[in-house]
């Protein structure tokens, strides 16, 4: 898939999202990948991203996220000082690559009247349990009555998730969180996740 067709898919999916409440058929989730495309910062800006942080934050970071990704929740939790201080705005691009409920949860978030508030509430509710689990604590369940997967998946949302996943793979990212930053030279750099110690390399100094 070339750059033009990839971008067209993303734009078409975004425009089609306006009709999310009137789906004609169920999305099957069958994604056909072709060749990788060159992705620009503007391409990322055109996606249906969910903001976490102030719009006037000097640093913007895109993060490909799956709603069932424990590493995404750990990153969300670790990044709070940068987001809360107003230094960084995280822009979450939802994908569905981990569990059968991933697409439905993403659809619920994207269709919400306030996706940013809904995502914040969801991550906040799970952050403590996930961080404790990853430190050797008890298993944490992703079942959440406050974020029920949308079924069936509206075709427009399905196309949007497909376009998001295409972008993720075009950037060479194979899992979540897939982190995308822009350097001082304007060039894009990606990281397949980040350790707590390396957060300043991605988010800057506090």
pLDDT at 43 exceeding the cut of 90: yes
The pLDDT tens digits for 81-125 are: 999 999 999 999 999 999 999 999 999 999 999 999 999 999 999
pLDDT at 131 exceeding the cut of 90: no
Residue bearing the bigger pLDDT, 24 or 39: 39
pLDDT at 9 exceeding the cut of 90: no
Q: Which of 125-134, 150-159, 164-173 is the least confident region?
A: 125-134
Q: Where are the domains of the chain?
A: 3-17+39-193
Q: How much is the average pLDDT of 149-168?
A: 95
Q: How many residues does the chain have?
A: 206
- The three-state DSSP-derived secondary structure of the chain is CCHHHHHHHHHHHHHHHHHCCCCCCCCCCCCCCCCCCCCCHHHHHCCCCEEECCCCCCEEEEEEECCCCHHHHHHHHHCHHHHHCCCEEEEEEECCCCCCCHHHHHHHHHHCCCHHHHHHHHHHHHHHHHHHHHCCCCCCCCCCCCCCCCCCCCHHHHHHHHHHHHHHHHCCCCCCCEEEEECCCCCEEEECCCCHHHHHHHHCCC
3-17+39-193 maps to which CATH number?
A: 3.40.30.10
Mean pLDDT, the chain, whole residue set:
84
Residue bearing the bigger pLDDT, 19 or 155: 155
Cβ 155 vs Cβ 24: under 8 Å: yes
Cβ 139 vs Cβ 133: under 8 Å: yes
Residue 31: what pLDDT? Answer: 36
Q: How much is the average pLDDT of 2-27?
A: 44
Residue bearing the bigger pLDDT, 38 or 198: 198
* Cα 46 from chain centre: 13
Residue 11: what pLDDT? Answer: 46
pLDDT at 33 exceeding the cut of 80: no
Q: How much is the average pLDDT of 135-161?
A: 89
Q: How large a percentage of the chain has pLDDT more than 70?
A: 82
Q: Which of 37-46, 103-112, 138-147, 180-189 is the least confident region?
A: 138-147
């Amino acid at each position: 898939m070339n750059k033009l067709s990839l971008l067209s898919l993303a734009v078409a999916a975004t425009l089609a999202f306006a009709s999310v409440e009137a789906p004609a058929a169920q999305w099957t989730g069958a994604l056909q990948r072709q060749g990788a495309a060159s992705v620009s910062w503007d391409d990322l800006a055109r996606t249906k991203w969910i903001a976490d942080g102030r719009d006037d934050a000097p640093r913007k970071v895109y993060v490909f996220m799956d709603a069932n990704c424990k590493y995404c929740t750990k990153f969300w939790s670790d990044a709070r000082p940068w987001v809360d201080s107003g230094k960084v705005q995280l822009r979450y691009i939802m994908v569905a690559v981990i569990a059968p409920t991933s697409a439905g949860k993403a659809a619920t978030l994207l269709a919400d009247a306030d996706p940013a508030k809904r995502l914040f509430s969801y991550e906040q509710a799970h952050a403590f349990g996930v961080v404790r689990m990853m430190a050797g604590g008890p298993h944490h369940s992703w079942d959440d009555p406050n974020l029920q997967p949308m079924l069936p998946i509206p075709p427009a949302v399905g196309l949007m998730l497909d376009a998001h996943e295409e972008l993720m793979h075009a950037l060479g990212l194979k899992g979540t969180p897939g982190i995308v930053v822009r350097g001082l030279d304007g060039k894009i750099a990606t990281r397949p996740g980040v350790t707590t110690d390396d957060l300043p390399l991605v988010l800057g100094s506090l």
